[in-house]
Amino acid sequence: MPAEPTVIDLEIIPKLGPHSFNREDEGDDAHFYREGRASPPLDELALKTTRELLGQLIVESNPSILDLAAGALTHLPPDLEPREVIGLGLDEPAMAANKALTETVVHDLNSNPVLPFKDRSFDIVLSTFSMAYLTRPFEVFEHVGRVLKPGGLFVVLFTNRHVRRKAVQFWIDAPEHKRSTLVRETFEIMGVFDNINTFHAIGRPRPEEDRFVDCGLPSDPIYAVWGELHGGDNSLLSPSRPVPASIVGVPLDREAIAQKEKMVSETLCCPYCDQALTPWPVPQTPFTEWACEEMFVCLNNRCPYLCRGWSVMDRQGNSGYSYRLMYNPDLKRCMPVPVPNARALREDKVLPRG
C-alpha cells in the first residue's frame, strides 16, 4: 500500500512548487525500464572516477550496503569487501546480472518511498544516478535516515545525462551546476545528516577509445553529495573518512601556458594542447566586420580549453556552450570564441595550412 506523503514546506527551496516533481511520462516506470530505456552508460573515465570516489568514502570494514535504483552495473570498487550489498530497483533481470549484489529487492520508490528494511540496518546507502527520477525525494531521504545506522553514510551520485521523459521537472529546469546545491539542501532540510560534503569531476577529455570521442564531448561529469547520519562517533573509524578534492579538467601549468601564449605568433600552436591552429576565414556581414580576414582556431576536440569551457559556460548561465581558442594575428593575442557544439567552426569553410 502506498505510503502517506511526508509534508515538506515547498518554499524551503526557492522555485520548488506543486508541479516541480511532475514528469513528461507518468506511465508505469517498471514497464518503461524493462523495455531497456535507461540512460546510456557512463564513459570509462567517469565510471573509474565513481568507483575511486566510493572507494575513498567507504572506510567501514565489511559494511552492509544498500544500493538504491540498482541495475546491471556495479559502481562499487572491485577491492571492496562488503558483508552484503542489497540492490533495490525496478528491473529484476538487470539486477540479477549485477554480480556485486548479494540480494535483490524489486521496489518502486516513486509509488512507495518506504524502504522495506528494518531500522538501523545499513552502514552505507547509495543513490547512484537516480536522483533525477525521484518524485518523492524527501520521503526517500527520510527513510534512508531510518535504515542507516548512526554515523552511517548516504552518498548521492549523478551526472548531467538523464532520460528526459522520466526526469522530474525540477531537475530538468535546474542548471547543471546548481544541482549539487539542490541535493545538498535536501540533505540539510531533513535535519538528520552531519558532515555534508560535495564533489565534482568535470571538464576532462573523453577517453580515446570511447565511441563518442570524435563528437568532441568531454568525459561525463560526476557529481556527488554525501552526509553521515546523526548519532555516530566516526572519530573511531580507521582510517577516517576523507573529503576528496574535486577535479576540474586536466592539471594545467599556468606559467607554461602563459609562455606559450607569448609565442603563438611564431608557433601558431594552441598553448593549451600544442596542436597547430587552423586558419579560419572571418565571416563578414552587414552587422559585424572584423579588421582581419583570417583568424586561427584550435579545432582539437580534446583540447583542455574546450573541455573546461562546457562547465564554465554552464556556470555562467550559457548551458550547452563552450569556447575554442582563437588567435587574432592583427591584435597578436588569443581569445575565446563561443561554440554551441563541438562541430561548430569545424564544419565551416576552413583554409588548408601551407
Phi, psi of 196 (to 5 degrees): -80, 130
Q: What percent of the chain has pLDDT over 90?
A: 61
Mapped onto helix, strand or coil, the DSSP state of residue 12 is: coil
Taking the C-alpha atoms of residue 160 and residue 74, their distance in angstroms, rounded to an integer, is: 19
What are 281-321's pLDDT values in tens digits? 887 666 666 677 889 999 998 888 988 888 788 778 787 78
Report the mean per-residue pLDDT for the chain: 87
Q: Cell 572516477 belongs to which residue?
A: 49
- 113 touches 136 (CB < 8 A): yes
Q: Residue 2 pLDDT > 50, yes or no? A: no
Q: Residue 5 pLDDT > 50, yes or no? A: no
What are 103-121's pLDDT values in tens digits? 999 999 999 999 999 999 9
- 300 touches 270 (CB < 8 A): yes
Q: Of 14-18, 38-42, 105-109, which gets the smallest average pLDDT?
A: 14-18
Q: Residue 188 pLDDT > 50, yes or no? A: yes
Taking the C-alpha atoms of residue 313 and residue 32, their distance in angstroms, rounded to an integer, is: 34
Which residues on neighbouring strands pair with residue 125, listed in sequence order? 66, 154
Domains and CATH numbers, the chain: 29-248 (3.40.50.150), 254-339 (no CATH)
Sheet holding 193-202, edge to edge: 103-106, 84-89, 64-68, 122-128, 148-158, 222-229, 193-202, 247-248
Q: What percent of the chain has pLDDT over 70?
A: 88
Taking the C-alpha atoms of residue 147 and residue 5, their distance in angstroms, rounded to an integer, is: 18
What are 117-144's pLDDT values in tens digits? 999 999 999 999 999 999 999 999 999 9
Give the distance, in angstroms, between the CA of residue 324 and the centroid of all CA atoms in the same chain: 23
Q: Cell 601564449 belongs to which residue?
A: 261
Q: Dmax over Cα atoms in the chain, in whole Å?
A: 73
Taking the C-alpha atoms of residue 143 and residue 135, their distance in angstroms, rounded to an integer, is: 14
